[in-house]
Structure 1
């Protein structure tokens, strides 16, 4: 079961980045995010109600779902969608793989789980990898504000995702059902994002093209309902650190697709930077044979 969940996360999230690229255009980022999670949350709630799987949770749990929605289904995606205007979405996915390190930090801050000694080696490799990955672009752009913002927003969005991991783990430690908390969190994230778009005066009219609407449905149903459900189930089954191991692989899928559709050109610094980042993530996992045995456990 764990292997199936893991495979779904890698396959789907490795392809959602190009769908984000396809939504770049005349529609404001908050509006695209609003429609994505409006479709996803309503689909989840309707299905759960039909199957009688939408469980009751306390008001306190609803407040944590609101917080999770802001972290995972709202502000972090605002960062990613905005950054996609300035940097390649395949490269965004590589930065997102740093969730492994963020999860180690946040597990210590919120649950007292001290990071292993290898964390510092992994963090150093990750930081060196990001600098190497973007070095040529930084030099050629004269350290442009837009490129730095793209990198910074991607890192900030990844940290928001990691905070959502911690809240999901909190839910599951309290015995709450993942699909129920995900549905409420998505709905609350949708409402917050809608309020932001309304406050900005954005038009809620989507782009009536096959590419935009196709990307919207793929992101809503596959990237949100299925992949987030699979991922947060993994968080509960094997922990946030091991679940985030999936981020080690899907950047390879995302960059391969980006090479075809966004014209990403593989330079030596890009290859070296990617290897450094992925090596840093890999360092975070002690006794990989133990992890893989857990992954194969149903």
Structure 2
């Protein structure tokens, strides 16, 4: 896949996983569902590696790096986001998580001394404005109670964990660790972390046998995890975390489009303005430098 195909695949898959996640909530504790999701994804990746005869052997230093990678990206990230979801609505969670793009911009500068272009800052700003506008009707009358602030705090912690996982993924590529094998080990370590957290909290490991739960679990494991993370982390290594993470702002836009057809969601002026602003921001971030320079160029002045 080229970068365009990787980006589109990531956005379309992760933009649609919200439907599957809805079917995961209810009878089974979120932590346990995450154990099932990433445990199944890890099994699939290990089987794939064996089938393709990909080398899974790594030195201890690489394993330690992958433990940190798995705990941050496939464990703590989701754990704190699920905790946050019990205190704030999904719209506020989505907005807070979208700050991962800003965190990635800062972290790539700190971790790898990556120079960030003006077009990335401009596109990011447009994207954040767009996503806040998109969800404005749901947060307009929000009261900043202790519960809301707690939820926002937990969500930002989860987002920081995700950004740290992104940085470790870049470090994995710099160390020339293969994406598929790294994801297999990372998801295994993330699964073990979530299982440990569930046991510490005394959460019961139950299993729902309803068709909705099973199908959504398979979709999240195979598409949302194996394919989605494979594409995203490959893209992250190719174009950088600051650009690849704009896809997190595109997810809600895709979700709104899907909801329009699936649930009969009705658009309003906030939806239109937010969606258009997000798309413009996307074009600015991913456009070739020459095109972006034209957008950012100041009008020429004439001399008398």
CA contact (8 A) 2:120 2:243 kept: no
What do residues 167-213 of structure 1 show as CA deviations (whole Å, max 9, x unaligned)?
Answer: 11111111111111111110000000000001111111122211111
> With structure 2 as the length reference, what TM-score do the two structures score?
0.81
Matching residue of 2:101:
100
What is the CA-CA distance between 1:67 and the residue it aligns to? 0.9
Q: How does 1:3-152 map to 2 (within 5 A)?
A: 3-85=4-86, 86-88=88-90, 92-93=93-94, 96-117=97-118, 121=122, 125=126, 128-129=129-130, 132-152=133-153
Matching residue of 1:207:
208
What is the CA-CA distance between 1:88 and the residue it aligns to? 3.4
Q: How does 1:156-167 map to 2 (within 5 A)?
A: 156-167=157-168
What do residues 38-77 of structure 1 show as CA deviations (whole Å, max 9, x unaligned)?
Answer: 1111111122123221332221111111111111101111
2:187 is equivalent to residue 180 of structure 1:
no
What is the CA-CA distance between 1:151 and the residue it aligns to? 4.8
* Counterparts in 2 of 1:69 and 1:231: CA distance versus 1, 3 Å: same
Q: Matches of 2:100 and 2:89 in 1, distance apart? A: 19
Gaps spanning 5+ residues in structure 1: where?
292-298
Q: Report which stretch shifted further, 248-257 or 55-64.
A: 248-257
Q: Report which stretch shifted further, 48-57 or 192-201.
A: 48-57
CA contact (8 A) 1:248 1:282 kept: no
Q: Report which stretch shifted further, 197-206 or 145-154.
A: 145-154
What is the CA-CA distance between 1:266 and the residue it aligns to? 4.2
Q: Matches of 1:278 and 1:53 in 2, distance apart? A: 38
Q: Matches of 2:85 and 2:290 in 1, distance apart? A: 36
What is the CA-CA distance between 1:278 and the residue it aligns to? 5.5
* Counterparts in 2 of 1:156 and 1:130: CA distance versus 1, 3 Å: farther
Q: 1:203 aligns to what SS in structure 2? A: coil
Q: Matches of 2:162 and 2:290 in 1, distance apart? A: 27
Rg: which structure is higher?
2
Matching residue of 1:219:
220
Q: CA RMSD in A?
A: 3.1
CA contact (8 A) 1:99 1:244 kept: yes
> With structure 1 as the length reference, what TM-score do the two structures score?
0.82
* Counterparts in 2 of 1:125 and 1:245: CA distance versus 1, 3 Å: closer
CA contact (8 A) 1:72 1:160 kept: yes
* Counterparts in 2 of 1:238 and 1:149: CA distance versus 1, 3 Å: same
CA contact (8 A) 1:138 1:144 kept: no
* Counterparts in 2 of 1:230 and 1:285: CA distance versus 1, 3 Å: closer
* Counterparts in 2 of 1:140 and 1:4: CA distance versus 1, 3 Å: closer
Q: Matches of 1:156 and 1:264 in 2, distance apart? A: 31
Q: Report which stretch shifted further, 110-119 or 92-101.
A: 92-101
Q: 1:73 aligns to what SS in structure 2? A: helix
Gaps spanning 5+ residues in structure 2: where?
293-304
* Counterparts in 2 of 1:141 and 1:121: CA distance versus 1, 3 Å: same
